[in-house]
Structure 1
Amino acid sequence: MNAPHKLLVLYTGGTIGMQASADGLVPAAGFEARLRAEQAARPGQCVPRWYYRELSPPIDSANMHQGHWLAMRDAIVAAVTEDGCDAVLLLHGTDTLAYSAAALSFLLLGLGVPVLLTGSMLPAGAAGSDAADNLSGAFAALAAGLAPGVHLYFHGRLLHGARASKIRSEAFDAFAEAARPRHGAAAAGLPAALDWRQPRRPVAVAVLPVFPGLQASHLRALLDSGIEALLLECYGSGTGPAEDAALLEVLREAHQRGVVLAAISQCAEGHVEFGVYAAGHQLAACGLVSGGGMTREAALAKLFALCGAGLTQAEVEHWFGIDLCGERSAPAAEGEAGALC
């Protein structure tokens, strides 16, 4: 792993570049000058040669949607294939930082360069801000050489892009890798449709937690809204209201008409294993596939990437259960990412 020769800094907005307004902090364009001034104030740090681009307009990451994921993917692919870029630093708001890191992990499968995401809890230049430390640390990690794949750097920690979650909203150490059980067969190879060079289309994907009182009518309204995949956040090891025949029938009908149904655990350290309880077996019989110990961010992003690649329902279900870049497997050595990510 070598230091990059040409680094793209891709700014998307977020707290790191926000400025005060009468209504509170708002995204601001033109972060390059502030970034270079920050670097000039730290002349001793090792920084790869970089150039700058920003998505326009910059956004508060609370407004992030799938179109932004695809725009980020397209900008990164263009930087690598057209501009000779061999690394990317993506600046992003913290609210959906882990979602975007996961999405890019699956949209850039096989890309041979590192992509590192970071941001900050306070704007750059604000008193006591963590922006300078996160930027400096991210540049240092890139200069030291990162494995190809998608990574997240925050508060001195290098995290796997498809295993990170935001766990705190008022502390600088806001991100961590989920302590969920992980195991799954690793992909021996990928279909051409999942290669990073292949464009993707927007996909209607939804997430719904199972909760006491969930009714068949609630579920039907969501499944009839035109979604192509539903991620159910189940109890424990993958259970739900299995005695509700009407609810199970709604799931069964949706699966029969082609909707992909997947499940993860609501537990912070949970893992779906449908065979443990009869209630879980009932859900699996309706067509749900297990997300193992994947996080919500990873499972949602993976469904988006698989469906957006034009795969059939059966193909999406197959590849959802296969480890593509370390999202389902035992963690690699600290600081390393999965081979395909």
Structure 2
Amino acid sequence: MRAVKNLLVLYTGGTIGMLQTPQGLAPASGFEARLHDYLLAHPEVQAPDWRLLELEPLLDSANMQQANWLAMRDAIVKAVVEDGHDGVLLLHGTDTLAYSAAALSFLLLGLNVPVVLTGSMLPAGTPNSDAWDNLSGALGIMASGIERGVHLFFNGALLQGTRASKLRSEAFDAFAVQPRHREGVCADSLPATLDYRQRRTPVRLAVLPLFPGLQAEQLRGLLNSGIQGLLLECYGSGTGPSDDAALLQVLSEARQQGVLLAAISQCPQGSVLFDTYAAGSRLRDTGLVSGGGMTREAALGKLFALLGAGLSVDEAERWFALDLCGERAA
């Protein structure tokens, strides 16, 4: 636990800083002055010395893309390595907040400072908004002491970046950690190719939940679209339509052609245990690698970080199966 003394507040947009426009709420610049005025009016709020950087373009987080994750990663690394900041508070919209927290957890492996993401369900300045509570709470935690790594702070709770999900669309307690089964072998060390210094490139990824009636040709069309990795959300403990020989053949062919196939459970509190049912074993035998109890956000962010680092499919599968930052092991 270490108190942050020199904080970068990285403002990316999101509801927390939105203002009303004729088209509805939209991200607005000028949040530095609003934060400065709030802290002057509330001297009881603990806050490290800080400066604010607006990351252009400001986004409604519904528009978040991999390129924006890479831009956030670059800004954070520069702030720490070149500018001497010992902590980063990232202001972000809630729609994809958990996705960004998970992706940054893997993009910033080895970075020896805390990074906290927060946002709000209502804009700052709106009556009864949660914006200032979330912001002042995050500032207070960083001023009093926090472990390194990527965290998500919301509604008074500090959550691990690779375990959080957005569960509610209207309540202030929108984010939580689902009690998924967690087990796995932790990586003894990280190669330089997965270190925060390693730049990444965009990756063509897809997520597909299994559902009754999924046809082999539908799956083939997705796999033939040029994707490099597929995250398959299986039933329960990792089962699927294992009596559909054509669908299993499509998966096998995709793996042989170099597509990384990973599996998680589509149950909010589920975990992939392929050997529990024969249906799961048959899916595994097509080349799927188990994501254990990882969330969709963590699994997608991890695939992006691994394949984006230029790892081969075999290498990426090996690291996907290991715990890198608490995403699959307790």
TM-score past 0.5 threshold: yes
Match runs of 1:75-94 below 5 Å:
75-94=75-94
Return the alpha-carbon distance in structure 2 between the equivalents of residues 29 and 208 of structure 1. 36
Note if 1:291 corresponds to 2:279.
no
Amino acid at match of 2:308: G
Match runs of 1:21-32 below 5 Å:
21-32=21-32
CA contact (8 A) 1:29 1:57 kept: no
The corresponding residue for 1:237 is 237
Find the residue that maps to 1:9 and give its secondary structure.
Answer: strand
CA contact (8 A) 1:219 1:247 kept: yes
**TM-score normalised according to structure 2 size:** 0.99
Cα deviation, residue 178, structure 1: 1.7
Find the residue that maps to 1:329 and give its secondary structure.
Answer: coil
CA contact (8 A) 1:205 1:228 kept: yes
Return the alpha-carbon distance in structure 1 between the equivalents of residues 250 and 320 of structure 2. 22
Find the residue that maps to 2:56 and give its secondary structure.
Answer: strand
Cα deviation, residue 224, structure 1: 0.6
Cα deviation, residue 41, structure 1: 1.7
CA contact (8 A) 1:13 1:58 kept: yes
Return the alpha-carbon distance in structure 1 between the equivalents of residues 40 and 223 of structure 2. 53
The corresponding residue for 1:338 is none
Return the alpha-carbon distance in structure 1 between the equivalents of residues 70 and 55 of structure 2. 12
The corresponding residue for 1:139 is 139
Return the alpha-carbon distance in structure 1 between the equivalents of residues 38 and 193 of structure 2. 41
Return the alpha-carbon distance in structure 1 between the equivalents of residues 177 and 213 of structure 2. 31
Write out per-residue CA displacement over residues 66-124 of structure 1, whole angstroms, 9 at most, x where no aligned residue: 00000000000000111001000000000000000000000000110000000000000
Return the alpha-carbon distance in structure 2 between the equivalents of residues 2 and 160 of structure 1. 17
The corresponding residue for 1:171 is 171
CA contact (8 A) 1:5 1:49 kept: yes
Return the alpha-carbon distance in structure 2 between the equivalents of residues 234 and 314 of structure 1. 22
Write out per-residue CA displacement over residues 112-141 of structure 1, whole angstroms, 9 at most, x where no aligned residue: 000000000000000010001001100001
Return the alpha-carbon distance in structure 2 between the equivalents of residues 203 and 145 of structure 1. 35
Return the alpha-carbon distance in structure 1 between the equivalents of residues 129 and 88 of structure 2. 23
CA contact (8 A) 2:5 2:143 kept: no
Write out per-residue CA displacement over residues 216-259 of structure 1, whole angstroms, 9 at most, x where no aligned residue: 11111111111100000000000111111111111000000100
Which consecutive unaligned segments of at least 5 residues does structure 2 have? none
Note if 1:14 corresponds to 2:5.
no
CA contact (8 A) 2:294 2:327 kept: yes
Cα deviation, residue 2, structure 1: 2.4
Moved more, 248-257 or 26-35: 26-35
Cα deviation, residue 318, structure 1: 0.6
The corresponding residue for 1:282 is 282
**TM-score normalised according to structure 1 size:** 0.96
CA contact (8 A) 1:238 1:263 kept: yes
Return the alpha-carbon distance in structure 2 between the equivalents of residues 9 and 288 of structure 1. 40
Match runs of 1:211-230 below 5 Å:
211-230=211-230
Note if 1:54 corresponds to 2:54.
yes
Amino acid at match of 1:303: L
Equivalent residue pairs, number: 330
The corresponding residue for 1:120 is 120
The corresponding residue for 1:72 is 72
The corresponding residue for 1:210 is 210
Write out per-residue CA displacement over residues 2-38 of structure 1, whole angstroms, 9 at most, x where no aligned residue: 2112100000000000011122111111211111111
Return the alpha-carbon distance in structure 1 between the equivalents of residues 191 and 214 of structure 2. 37
Return the alpha-carbon distance in structure 2 between the equivalents of residues 220 and 64 of structure 1. 27
% same residue: 68
The corresponding residue for 1:37 is 37
Amino acid at match of 1:95: D
CA contact (8 A) 2:8 2:51 kept: yes
The corresponding residue for 1:304 is 304
Which consecutive unaligned segments of at least 5 residues does structure 1 have? 331-341
The corresponding residue for 1:260 is 260
Return the alpha-carbon distance in structure 2 between the equivalents of residues 14 and 42 of structure 1. 23
Moved over 2 A (4+): none
Return the alpha-carbon distance in structure 2 between the equivalents of residues 13 and 140 of structure 1. 21
Amino acid at match of 2:269: E
